[in-house]
Amino acid sequence: MKKFNFVETSIKGVYIIEPTVFQDERGYFMETYHKKDFEENGLNMDFVQDNQSKSSKGVLRGLHFQYTQPQGKLVRVMKGEVFDVAVDLRKKSATYGKYESVILSEENKKQFYIPPGFAHGFLVLSDEAEFTYKCTDFYNGQDEGGIIWNDSKIGIEWPLKEDEIILSEKDTMWKSLKDTATDF
């Protein structure tokens, strides 16, 4: 039996990953990562850091990236529900400036793989959400960049109204993709 279903998205390198869930009256069990299975499906990465956050409804974190130490991220929701987004920052890509999105939740147990060279962000849709992710490079605060969440050229269709969205001060200061120098 397959442990994962790897769903290719409209953007090369971005995957929705559906784990096989074994469920009975006691609860459930699933693998969230298996190096060999991922490699057999073209996802050859080494993870070096795991992160977890808890956020309230309406919190939007993103759109973040690192300039010289870009991170690939395997993200999932342990509790609640989020709208997760990856924006292609690879200038030579046919999908530069395009985005892919997915609903991640504790119910659907889907994961989202975002390769290096992308901006990433998520919006909490449930009362609260616990979000976890594996990274292919270490976080470096001095290397962090971002794109403003409502860049009209990217055109992300966020599922909450603007007055329902809660941003950190930092996330209100990012510029548009057009005005952000990236070298991916």
pLDDT in tens, 55-95: 999 999 999 999 999 999 999 999 999 999 999 999 999 99
pLDDT in tens, 130-163: 999 999 999 999 999 999 999 999 999 999 999 9
Beta strands, E only, the chain: 4-8, 15-19, 22-24, 27-29, 49-56, 60-66, 73-79, 81-88, 99-105, 111-114, 118-124, 128-135, 144-146
Q: Which of 64, 99, 113, 120 is catalytic?
A: 64
Domain boundaries in the chain? 47-172
Q: Which of 15, 99, 113, 133 is catalytic?
A: 133
**Would you say how long the chain is, in residues?**
184
pLDDT confidence of residue 72: 98
34 given a catalytic annotation: no
Which CATH class for the 47-172 domain? mainly beta
User: Per the confidence metrics, is the pTM higher than 0.85?
Assistant: yes
- Token pair for 155: 């055109």
Predicted confidence (pLDDT) at residue 177 exceeds the cutoff of 90: yes
Predicted confidence (pLDDT) at residue 1 exceeds the cutoff of 80: no
Contact partners, residue 80, CB within 8 Å, separation at least 6: 105, 106, 124, 125, 126, 127, 128, 129, 130
